[in-house]
Structure 1
Amino acid sequence: MRITRMLGAALLALGLAAGPAAADSSPSPSASADGDAPTRAGSSFRTATEIEQGQSATASGSTGDYLYWSFPADTGQRPTVRATVKLPATHGSETWQLDVYDGLRRRQACQYGAQTRTAAQGAASVELACVLRTVRGWSEPWADDPLPGTYYLRLTVVDLAAADLGQPVSAEVRADSKDIGGAAAVDGTLGKPLVPGIAAKSAGQGDGSKTAVLSSFGRDDGWSSGWWSDRWVWTGIGAVLAALAGIGGYVLTRGSGRPSRVPPTV
């Protein structure tokens, strides 16, 4: 009975500990579409239009233009970016490509998804997608692992007939993430997320002038990079189970403490 009570209490504790971990692994909530969604794209990394995860952004341009957006991604998230390009009524075969870069402007590989697609002659639209690797809290300097910070989207046509160059097109992009949690945790953290660039902010003189300051983010700004992850919860669960197994094995093998047979009397 004592062993049964111990097992019951341990299972209850494990359930309470696993609750937050299960909640952390659920997909991140998506932002609802509203009138504040961006309706234009940048023409370079420095002018990339900022969007939030779960927010759709649209832009108009011409074939041959480079369209740029940026969005934030944090440790433990696996971003998925999608783009839909609406093509003119009359056009030849066109190949479009969606590239993703991190805060250091390193091109990130896609785990899966069609980031390059060819639209047949007269097709109304083309859809592109890229599922990135899970963002890590830390990486070796020589590696190109995804790290927390800003990510850039670049959408452009890479192959088309000369007669189709400059035709009007419209694009819609969206970035979402799935929270992977402690399954992708590493023993390390960045000093600061990779959020490069210059942000123009009001200088406060009252004359509308602006001054350039370096973008900077830290733990107080909502970034979760650090030593804690739900991997510690599951490590604790494993330790408790191992301890219970040791106690159970000891109780089962120690016997009653008395000899099984009484020696014959002389």
Structure 2
Amino acid sequence: MRFTHVLSTALLAVGLAAAPAAADPSPSASPSGDGGAPTQAGTSFRTATGIEPGQRATANGSTGDYLYWSFAADAGVRPTVRATVKLPATHAAQTWQVDVYDGLRRRQACQYGAQTRTADAGSASVDLACTLRTVRAWSEPWADDPLPGTYYVRLTVVGLQPSDLGQPVGAEVRVDSKDVGGAAAVDGSLAEPLVPGIAVTSRQHQEGSSESAVLSAVEPDGGWSSGWWSDRWVWTALGGALAALAGVGGYALTRGSGRPSRVPPGA
């Protein structure tokens, strides 16, 4: 009975310690509303318009244009890009595609989602979606895994009739990031996230100063974690505590009463 009471108290203490971290994992950036959402898109990687997770960015363009947006994704999140193209009233069949590139401008494969769709003649709009693999804190140099940094969204038409080229269209893009947590945690991390750098051209830098390059201002709320913390640490500690308690309990149950099993002759 005494051991059961001690075990229950210890489990309760460990549960209370782990509950805040388990119930409140590092959240992705919360939607900031559409009030300050961008209303235009870039035309290249260098001019991509930055958007926050949860924002609904809009832009006007023409069929044949390349529209670019950028967003930040940290380790442990799974980004999902959704795009809607509003088509003109009269048009032939058109095929639209949304692509996502990482900070090294490597095209990332979609884990699931309709990345390419064909709109029938006269359709009012077409919806696209691309869910990436979970961003890893570290990866082998030869691998193509998503890594923390800036990601680029490119929206364009890949198949249309020449008569539809240049017609006005409207685009809506939204990026949502799901926090996967410790299930995707790996050992190791990048020295710096994969974000575009701006060379320092000051006189001090030209004279050999050690001043570092300025990184892009696009980053998650709270800065880059680079995978140093995840709820895997909580469950590892919980497992270790349970193993220790199980060892103590097993010893208490098997050691006996501490008295000899029988009285020696002549005692």
Question: Which bracket does the TM-score occupy, shorter chain normalised?
Answer: 0.7 to 0.9
1:167–1:199 distance in 2 versus 1, CA, 3 Å:
farther
TM-score, structure 2 normalization = 0.87
Is the 8 Å Cα contact of residues 139 and 145 (structure 2) preserved in structure 1?
yes
**1:194 shift after superposition:** 0.6
**Map of 1:65-104 to 2, 5 A cutoff?**
65-104=65-104
Percent sequence identity over aligned pairs: 77
Match of 1:196 in 2: 196
Match of 1:252 in 2: 253
1:162 and 2:185 equivalent?
A: no
1:140 and 2:140 equivalent?
A: yes
The root-mean-square deviation of aligned C-alpha atoms, in Å, is 2.6
Deviations 1:87-109 (A, max 9, x none): 01111111110000000000111
Is the 8 Å Cα contact of residues 185 and 227 (structure 2) preserved in structure 1?
no
Deviations 1:108-155 (A, max 9, x none): 111111111111111110001111111111111111111111000000
1:33–1:111 distance in 2 versus 1, CA, 3 Å:
same
**1:80 shift after superposition:** 0.8
Counterpart of 1:20, as a letter, is P
Is the 8 Å Cα contact of residues 99 and 153 (structure 2) preserved in structure 1?
yes
Deviations 1:6-42 (A, max 9, x none): 2122212221232233234475353232332111100
Aligned to 1:83, what secondary structure does the other structure show?
strand
Aligned to 1:227, what secondary structure does the other structure show?
coil
Counterpart of 1:12, as a letter, is L
CA distance in 2 between partners of 1:134 and 1:118 (Å): 28
CA distance in 2 between partners of 1:138 and 1:29 (Å): 21
Match of 1:234 in 2: 235
Match of 2:186 in 1: 186
**1:263 shift after superposition:** 7.3
Match of 1:34 in 2: 34
Q: Which runs of 4+ in 1 moved over 6 A?
A: 217-221, 263-266
TM-score, structure 1 normalization = 0.87
Aligned to 1:155, what secondary structure does the other structure show?
strand
Counterpart of 2:67, as a letter, is L
Of 130-139 and 2-11, deviating more is 2-11
Is the 8 Å Cα contact of residues 27 and 177 (structure 1) preserved in structure 2?
no
- Structure 1: 5+ residue stretches without partners: 201-212
Match of 2:151 in 1: 151
